[in-house]
Structure 1
Amino acid sequence: MFMRILDRFEEILISVLMAAAVILIFFTVVHRFSIGFAADIVSYARANDMPELQAWARSAFRSINSIKLTWAQEACIYLFVWMAKFGAAYGVRVGIHVGVDMLVIRLDPKWRRIVTIIAMSGGILFTAILVWIGSTFVYHVGVGGQISADLEIPMWLVYLAVPLGSALMCFRFIQALWTYVTTGVIVHHDHGHVDGVEEEAAAQTAPQTGGQK
């Protein structure tokens, strides 16, 4: 039950962060385009002696320009930082991280098992060190009272992604190692697999199979 909740939370968090960043980038681009477009209309109306259009364009320009999105770039960076850290943990869980295994697959099963365990243990050790260093760094940043330039939020909240994401990634490495030790299975993602395709194909062939019976 706990693992199901954790898996779902991980997926929802990454999706929300990604959606928020994309939406924010979209509105920022539209905002910049709208300001430039309104300025062009003002210039066109002035050049062609169209006072009504010029007045409307000036009003639109002032209204759009009053919306300040100087903080958007900083917010997007922080959203992508959090998404990357938790996305890395998700990658360990589903086995989508890039790995070079040309040498490993040529080893005898005994040595292949030893090398795999050492590699996964290295991942556990590395992410555990990141948790320790990241936690120490977050503590010192919090004590220093540093805030971000545009959003003016405490920077320790931003850097908190490092220890939290690394802790989850460390847990996923432990989970993968335990699965391999107990079952001999390495979590692996098939890059040729497309979600929903197999289910759709099964749904299409199910009535045919039933009719043949």
Structure 2
Amino acid sequence: MFLRILDRLEEIIIAGLMGAATILIFISVVHRFGTGVPFLYPYLIAIHISWAQELCIYMFIWMAKFGAAYGVRTGIHVGVDVLINQLNDRWRKAVVLFGLAGGALFTAIVGTMGAKFVIELMNTDQVSPDLELPSWLVYACIPLGSYLMCFRFLQVIWTYYWTDELPHHDATRVEGIEVSQKAPIALGEA
């Protein structure tokens, strides 16, 4: 059960944050334009949601950090492999493993530096401007997202070392839709 949730952790976090941000932005826009309606003005002006923009910014930052980990896990993270694919199998595997290890090392360093920064912020009274959230809570996405990304790099290294398979995202495949062999677009003839 735990591993099943861990395998979908990024998707759960991103979907939750994206849904909440969408609802919050919708409410904020309705509130902003609703205050321009004369009979709604007295009711809506008493509701203060100036903090909504700040919260949405933080939500999108968290989505970006966890989205990067999702990109590593699913193979949609940016990578240039034109020259690497020209190498023989032995050298290609060594170069790919070196690159993945470099990614894991980099994200571990960023996560550690981010954790140090967050721990230092915990000892201060610094808060965000509108929400007045403790700043360490806002910046906690740096170590959490970076360590998750490091973990995903290590997972990819392990899988690639033993199976020679990298995660690959096929942009032409949509889950639940079957491609007909008679369709000209599916055959690349359109």
TM > 0.5 between the two?
A: yes
Alignment partner of 2:46 out of 58, 63, 66: 66
- Equivalent residue, structure 1, for 2:27: 27
Equivalents in 1 of 2:9, 2:80: separation in Å?
Answer: 30
- Equivalent residue, structure 2, for 1:76: 56
Superposition deviation, residue 19 in structure 1: 0.4
Identity percentage of aligned residues: 55
The answer to whether the 8 A contact 2:72-2:149 is kept is: yes
Equivalents in 2 of 1:141, 1:99: separation in Å?
Answer: 34
Amino acid at match of 1:192: T
Is 2:77 the counterpart of 1:97? yes
Is 2:132 the counterpart of 1:122? no
- Equivalent residue, structure 2, for 1:140: 120
Is 2:155 the counterpart of 1:179? no
Alignment partner of 2:140 out of 130, 145, 160: 160
Equivalents in 1 of 2:149, 2:8: separation in Å?
Answer: 15
Superposition deviation, residue 3 in structure 1: 2.3
- Equivalent residue, structure 1, for 2:174: 194
Specify the structure having the higher radius of gyration (Cα): 1
Superposition deviation, residue 152 in structure 1: 0.8
Equivalents in 1 of 2:9, 2:107: separation in Å?
Answer: 20
- For residues 145-170 of structure 1, the C-alpha deviation after alignment (integer angstroms, 9 at most, x for no partner) is 21111101111011111101111100
Amino acid at match of 1:20: A
Superposition deviation, residue 84 in structure 1: 1.1
Superposition deviation, residue 25 in structure 1: 0.9
Equivalents in 2 of 1:32, 1:156: separation in Å?
Answer: 30
- When the two chains are superposed, the root-mean-square deviation of aligned CA atoms in Å is 1.5
Equivalents in 1 of 2:75, 2:9: separation in Å?
Answer: 18
Task: Give the TM-score, by structure 2 length.
Answer: 0.90
- Equivalent residue, structure 2, for 1:2: 2
SS of 1:197's equivalent in the other structure is coil
SS of 2:40's equivalent in the other structure is helix
- Equivalent residue, structure 2, for 1:16: 16
Number of aligned positions between the proteins: 180
* Structure with greater helix percent: 1
Task: Give the TM-score, by structure 1 length.
Answer: 0.80
The answer to whether the 8 A contact 2:34-2:40 is kept is: no
Amino acid at match of 2:29: V
Equivalents in 2 of 1:75, 1:194: separation in Å?
Answer: 32
Equivalents in 2 of 1:156, 1:73: separation in Å?
Answer: 19
SS of 2:169's equivalent in the other structure is coil
Equivalents in 2 of 1:9, 1:130: separation in Å?
Answer: 20
Superposition deviation, residue 90 in structure 1: 1.1
